[in-house]
Structure 1
């Protein structure tokens, strides 16, 4: 009389409640740390810094960086999108205030951000990456907040009446070009001075 071979019961390993969630949270923290570190190193040391060096400075293993960002271009793009997301969050905070000049606060930050990340933006342009195409919803959110703050500034008479949102976004892009042309990317004081000159032109003109 033959008997069926005994099939072992699959082992069940104990798992801590919420461990998957904690792993995801840990992975998010690592990714954010890599992005912050990369942004700082690109701004201060240039784009030549290696992924392994970014990992070392961020306090994570090289595999963590390569897993999230398989190439330098992917990291450039992620840094740029992360910076826009931070600007959107700042715009939302400003929108919750009653300050009619909040538009100028946001524009100053956008121009400073552009100066800080000039190398990354240049690399993306050289690779023919368009952030409006790569991250359309984030770019649209920022444009929407700028438009809303511009409407508030118009209503309060804090900005010249003939300024449209499309022209404003073009002037911000022009500010990035002016800062690069002046070689002021590495000087917060000089880049801020150029930004102020541009922003002063947006204020109501004396009659």
Structure 2
């Protein structure tokens, strides 16, 4: 017979495990709510919105925001990275359609997303944050999807044959600068017009 006294079992093992999981689920929901709110406020009110105001609009406590994002730069980076992840998901859906013009749909949406948060991207540049360094897997994933859609557009004759994926990505980045230079960040119509001008240059020239 053992002299060891067995350790008492938890009074409610299921509840104990559940309490471990629930805070994580709550934390994910809170983080998502903060990101959506910050993205909207940065786009409509600029980067000067205090973290405490973002917390109030998101319906969470200031401590929750500061726990997830201890500095404003961390929130800028998270907003931009989240946007890229959403574009990756959109690219996957477009690829599944088999539409040879899907490249232009995706690029148009990329430019619209960038126009809404061009200030966030400028803040990252000013803080010397490069998404390709800070979130290399996500950035590479998006570039890979753009390359696949470009290959499909090339095969269908929908994109000019001398166009490379590096040039496409450079032009998208240039579109953000053009939109900012034109002061069109808050005008979806003007930013969409600039995007169309750029995208027209990617199509084959008429013979």
Name the SS of the counterpart of 1:18 in structure 2: helix
Match of 2:113 in 1: 113
Supply the distance in 1 between the matched residues of 2:47 and 2:126 (Cα, whole angstroms). Answer: 13
C-alpha deviation, 1:23, in angstroms: 2.1
Task: Determine which structure has more spread, i.e. the larger CA radius of gyration.
Answer: 1
The answer to whether the aligner puts 1:39 opposite 2:47 as a matched pair is: no
C-alpha deviation, 1:63, in angstroms: 1.0
C-alpha deviation, 1:19, in angstroms: 3.1
The answer to whether the aligner puts 1:73 opposite 2:73 as a matched pair is: yes
Match of 2:192 in 1: 192
Supply the distance in 2 between the matched residues of 1:11 and 1:204 (Cα, whole angstroms). Answer: 72
Greater than 6 Å deviation, 4+ residue runs: none
C-alpha deviation, 1:26, in angstroms: 1.5
Supply the distance in 2 between the matched residues of 1:154 and 1:20 (Cα, whole angstroms). Answer: 51
Match of 2:98 in 1: 98
C-alpha deviation, 1:99, in angstroms: 0.6
C-alpha deviation, 1:21, in angstroms: 2.2
Name the SS of the counterpart of 1:100 in structure 2: coil
CA RMSD for the aligned pairs? Answer: 1.5
C-alpha deviation, 1:97, in angstroms: 1.0
**Aligned residues, how many?**
200
Name the SS of the counterpart of 2:57 in structure 1: helix
Match of 1:175 in 2: 175
C-alpha deviation, 1:94, in angstroms: 0.8
Match of 1:4 in 2: none
Name the SS of the counterpart of 2:128 in structure 1: coil
Offset from partner CA, 1:84-118 (integer Å, 9 cap, x none)? 11111111111111111000010001101111111
Supply the distance in 1 between the matched residues of 2:114 and 2:71 (Cα, whole angstroms). Answer: 22
Q: TM-score, normalised by structure 2?
A: 0.92
**Residues 155-166 of structure 1 aligned to structure 2 (within 5 Å):** 155-166=155-166
Unaligned runs of 5+ in 1: 1-6
